[in-house]
Amino acid sequence: MSSASEQSRRFQAARKLAGVIGVPAVAIAAAFAAGAVFILAIGESPVSVYGRLFSGTFGNFYGLGQVLFKATPLIFTGLSVALAFKAGLFNIGAEGQLYIGTFAVAWVGFTLSGLPGVLLVPLCVLAGAAGGALWGAVPGYLKSRFGAHEVINTIMLNFVAIALTGYFVTHVYFVPETVHTQRIAAQAQIPRLEQFWPVFKGSPVNVSLFLALGIAVAVYFFLWRTRFGFELRALGLNPAAAEYGGISVGAGTVLAMTLSGALAGLVGVDFVMGYKYYYEGGFSSGLGFMGIAVALLGRNHPLGVVLAAFLFGALSYGGLVINAVVPKELVEILQGIVILVVIAGTNVFGQLAASFKRGRPG
Amino acid sequence: MDWMIVLAFISQMVRISVPYTLAAIGGTFSERGGVVNIALEGILLNGAFTCVLATHYTGNPWVGVLAAVAGGVATASVHAVVSITFKAEQIVSGLAINLLAMGATRFFLRIIFGSSSNSERIAGLPEWDVPVLGDIPVLSTIFSSPLILATIVIIFASQFVLFKTSFGLRLRSVGEHPEAADSLGVNVSRVRYAGVLLSGALAGLGGAWLAMDQHSFTDGMSSGRGYIALAAMIVGKWNPLGAAGACLMFGAAESLQMQLQGQDVPTQFIQMIPYVATVVVLAGFIGRSIPPAADGVPYEKERQ
């Protein structure tokens, strides 16, 4: 009897592992296969294009540096979306939250320029988190207070955030003839990896990558090792049961959206403190939306998010590598297909597994 | 008061709201059937692209209009398969389709027209000479446009179809209570498919308007209109007349913004109007806006 239950547990574990790794793997393979059709259609060789894509990204340190640079903001936005997902909330607003957060980083960086770096750096980071948190808290509050759906509100607030920061950067804080603010103080700028490892020379990848990885670990500990994290996950699994168990759905919703927004706001640490040293209008072009794909592919787990961010980072830099042969938009097509296959496949896999289980005796 | 300015303002408002209205009514059909359709943005874009492509190769703008509708239906069918047949997350499906449409149109723009920004110029639709209405100064440009006239007909026809026909009743029933509809013999999947494909046809037609209005395709030319349409659908409380009204309101705000451009007025605050209005309406400050009960929920038929 114990061996039967042991067997069933192993079966469960194997099924879970296959679902976690199998579906994303199939999705990536399907996307590359579909991409090959596009490549053939324009008369190029998929083998040579994909070979170029691979060698240009992971084949040398410069490419690797660019991949890490592209992956850094995606880790933040992926974690943002994943944390909200865990609490049963769909944050499509990472895009808006990162605009507000990034602007806040720059604003603190050039306004409090008299402070020493040891104070200014953490203040800038906090400003990014706070800006994003504020923009995330609004739909959280609207949901808990009025029952207004966070999906629609976060979409709408994205546009409001872009318009609001657009106003600041065209009417209030701007360098004439540009759409960016003045530079942040020199002591607020964080080092690039090329300063420690010259092999990354020329890539803007900077120490915010380590912040992103550290935050991923922190999110893991928060969700699986703390009481608040447990409550948020309970909320995501079954809000009614969670409420019966004494968890406040309203407070949990606001907390989850606030934290989710804070994570998205940290994109500004990479963009402003490590890359451009100023805020620039329209800089993101979809990092928040890509975070949804990253979270999905990473199964809403911090480790998965980090891996998925590297994959999507590699694709988005890879687009530039192959651009001479195939339009770089090929990678957008690949990314779109990955997402569609993941969401369709997750369900199909679940049904297959269920029917397999039903077919078994006992 | 200069009447010509007022008439110009109205004409501009109407022209701006045409693609919004078509996409918003499309979204209404999809969501009334219980399928959230964030793919409107991608459908508009693909519709505009197929319209330009067909017109470019045939030289006949009417073929272009048909191609836009076909392109819209094709795009929507991806959403239908993923979200109805595979019962996948509808919002993510919509977002992925938008990403795909953005990438695919850029890809083919570069392959076919050798440019990353715009296509070659295409022929527009002929203007119609409508009696009486065509004699009004300035506004005559509205009534001479076949697509605007079609939009006006579509608004009222949609309201009628949704609320006065048995198809409309079925569509609303699978969006509100699919189990009940199923038990009465309504094929839930098939009716939901109809709603989503109809939204593709309408938003695709909206794409045709964008292409014809500009006589070309430009990269990313839907520029968020699908999301504004989504907002209008909500502000219009999921009904075609309401959606059209909201679209006119948003069109008026945008038209005003254009008039103010160049003067030292921060137009960003006018840009925010549709979005802020939607947040306010959703929070219930101006009448409650309640989505169909089963909106966004895949239908799982009971298994024996």
Q: Does B223 touch chain A (CB under 8 A)?
A: no
CA A240/CA A270 separation, integer angstroms: 39
Q: Where are the domains of chain A?
A: 72-300
The pLDDT of residue B247: 94
Q: What is chain A's Cα-based Rg?
A: 22
- Interval B221-248: pLDDT, tens: 988 899 889 989 988 889 999 999 999 9
Inter-chain contact A167–B266, Cβ cutoff 8 Å?
yes
Nearest CA in chain A to B82: A344
A113 neighbors A102 (Cβ within 8 angstroms) = no
Q: Name chain B contacts of A289, Cβ cutoff 8 Å.
A: 95, 99
Q: What is the mean pLDDT of chain A?
A: 88
- Interval A154-175: pLDDT, tens: 988 999 999 999 999 888 888 8
- Interval B12-47: pLDDT, tens: 999 999 999 999 999 999 999 999 999 999 999 999
The pLDDT of residue B234: 87
Q: Could you tell me how many residues make up chain B?
A: 304
List the structure tokens of A233: 């996950």
The pLDDT of residue B272: 86
Exposed e or buried b per residue across B48-73, where buried means at least 16 C-beta atoms within 10 angstroms of its C-beta: bbbbbbbbbeeeebeebbbbbbbbbb
Count, in order, helices (H) and strands (E) of chain A: 15, 0
Q: Phi and psi dihedrals of B262, rounded to 5? A: 95, -30
Assign residue B237 a region (left: φ > 0; alpha: ψ between -120 and 50; beta: otherwise).
left
Q: Which of B105, B279, B280 to mutate to test the interface with A (most CBs of A within 10 A)?
A: B279
- Mean pLDDT is lowest, of A64-78, A117-131, A346-360, B143-157, for A346-360
Question: What's A43's DSSP letter?
Answer: T
A256 neighbors A62 (Cβ within 8 angstroms) = no
Inter-chain contact A343–B82, Cβ cutoff 8 Å?
yes
CA B30/CA B43 separation, integer angstroms: 13
What's the pLDDT band for A354 if we cut at 50, 70, 90? low
Q: Nearest CA of chain B to the CA of A207: how many Å? A: 30
B84 neighbors B58 (Cβ within 8 angstroms) = no
The pLDDT of residue B286: 60
Q: Nearest CA of chain B to the CA of A93: how many Å? A: 13
What's the pLDDT band for B92 if we cut at 50, 70, 90? confident
- Interval A282-320: pLDDT, tens: 888 889 989 998 998 888 999 999 999 999 999 999 988
The pLDDT of residue B197: 97
The pLDDT of residue A361: 42
Domains of chain B: 3-282 (1.10.3470)
Assign residue A286 a region (left: φ > 0; alpha: ψ between -120 and 50; beta: otherwise).
left
Q: Which of A329, A352, A357 to mutate to test the interface with B (most CBs of B within 10 A)?
A: A329
- Interval A60-82: pLDDT, tens: 889 999 999 999 999 999 999 99
Nearest to A109 by CA among A192, A174, A189, A211: A189
Average pLDDT in the B265-272 region? 81
ipTM: 0.85
The pLDDT of residue B60: 92
The pLDDT of residue A350: 62
The pLDDT of residue B117: 84
Q: Phi and psi dihedrals of A192, rounded to 5? A: -90, 155
Q: What is the 3-state secondary structure (H, E, C) of A90-129?
A: CCCCHHHHHHHHHHHHHHHHHHCCCCCHHHHHHHHHHHHH
Residue A209 CA, chain-centre distance (Å), reads 13
Average pLDDT in the B51-80 region? 95
State the CB neighbour count (10 A cutoff) for residue B186: 17
Inter-chain contact A332–B97, Cβ cutoff 8 Å?
no
CA A98/CA A80 separation, integer angstroms: 10
Q: Does B279 touch chain A (CB under 8 A)?
A: yes
Q: Which of A152, A154, A165, A320 to mutate to test the interface with B (most CBs of B within 10 A)?
A: A152
Nearest CA in chain B to A142: B283
